[in-house]
């Protein structure tokens, strides 16, 4: 709902090819979790990690609105 409210389109549901803390939160402790964040996964957790500023702006807007729509 949050993504659609902000961006007027459905989110892309996919998997990441890198690891996050979600493996412990959801996998070990059975607490539902989602992954959402800015950037291109090609650069995630890499020496040349980088994130476009417009991705940061969009992710920040999502994080700000999410608690109000839960």
Confidence of residue 7 (pLDDT cuts 50, 70, 90): very high
The residues, ordered by sequence, that sit 6+ positions from 1 with a Cβ below 8 Å of its Cβ are 69
Q: Which pTM does this prediction carry?
A: 0.77
For residues 21 and 35, give the distance between their C-alpha atoms in angstroms, rounded to a whole number.
9
Return the pLDDT at 60: 97
Is the Cβ–Cβ distance between 62 and 70 less than 8 Å?
A: no
Return the pLDDT at 22: 85
pLDDT digits (tens, 9 = 90+) for 30-67: 999 888 889 988 888 889 999 999 999 999 999 999 99
Return the pLDDT at 44: 85
Return the pLDDT at 34: 84
């Amino acid at each position: 709902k949050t993504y659609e409210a902000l961006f007027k389109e459905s989110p892309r549901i996919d998997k990441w090819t890198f690891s996050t803390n979600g493996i412990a939160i959801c996998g070990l402790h059975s607490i539902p979790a989602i992954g959402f964040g800015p950037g291109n996964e090609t650069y995630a957790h890499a020496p040349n990690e980088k994130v476009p500023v417009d991705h940061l702006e969009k992710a920040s807007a999502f994080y700000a609105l999410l608690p109000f729509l839960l």
